[in-house]
A and B are shown apart, each in its own frame.
Chain A
Amino acid sequence: AQSVSQHNHHVILSEAASLELGCNYSYGGTVNLFWYVQYPGQHLQLLLKYFSGDPLVKGIKGFEAEFIKSKFSFNLRKPSVQWSDTAEYFCAVNARNSGAGSYQLTFGKGTKLSVIP
């Protein structure tokens, strides 16, 4: 079964600082990769996704992520964070669950980002 690791539980940054959140997964086959965001009091929203093609994907609000297949990584980046980026960020991998024959979305445990004005 696949697993997803997010390296940081809580990150605190000042506004305008650069952000990189780590995400590694374990799965040997083809995967679809996602970053979801959950703003305080709101539900999970898609930030960006990678299915195929250019490994550098751009999402909403200036976020981007790079898929490095050799490292099984899909790190999230933003050059300059804003207070409004305060949220919890989840990395997720959609891969085939061979036992059940379905595609299962496996989430990391999330990284809380606090941006100080």
Chain B
Amino acid sequence: GAGVSQSPSNKVTEKGKDVELRCDPISGHTALYWYRQSLGQGLEFLIYFQGNSAPDKSGLPSDRFSAERTGGSVSTLTIQRTQQEDSAVYLCASSPDRQETQYFGPGTRLLVL
């Protein structure tokens, strides 16, 4: 019955490699969000899911970024050909519905060398 969980908690990768970040939302929450938190930049919206569909992908910074959600639950954010500027904390949040309070996971800290 816990909150939002994310894995891995930390990821170090080499420039050019692909990475997958996972989010397990709170059970029953239909809305799921991905954000990026960079030093000095605050939180940047990436993508929103309602169920398994993504009506709002407006925040994805480039076509190297993609995300999917299966079974209305787990979501994966994939970054292809990582760049050093992708280094950040990637946060996932879920909410019962799109207008409701969002509950955040602990984040995945990504470092691209």
**A residues adjacent to B (C-beta < 8 A):** 32, 34, 36, 42-46, 49, 90, 92, 94, 97, 99-110
Contact = CB atoms under 8 A, between A and B. Distances in A.
Given A90-B43, A94-B99, A109-B41, A104 B48 contact: yes
Contacts of A101: 55-56
A109 B45 contact: no
B42 interface: yes
B104 interface: yes
A105 B33 contact: yes
Nearest to A42: B106
A103 to B, nearest CB: 5
13 contacts: A42-B106, A43-B91, A44-B93, A46-B103, A90-B43, A101-B56, A102-B50, A102-B98, A105-B33, A107-B43, A109-B41, A109-B42, A110-B42
Interface in B80-113: 91, 93, 98-99, 101-107
B101 A106 contact: no
Nearest to A49: B101
B104 A104 contact: no
Ranked 7 nearest A-B pairs via Cβ: A109-B42, A100-B56, A44-B104, A107-B43, A102-B56, A43-B106, A103-B98
Contacts of A46: 101, 103
B58 interface: yes
A46 B48 CA distance: 19
Nearest to A101: B55
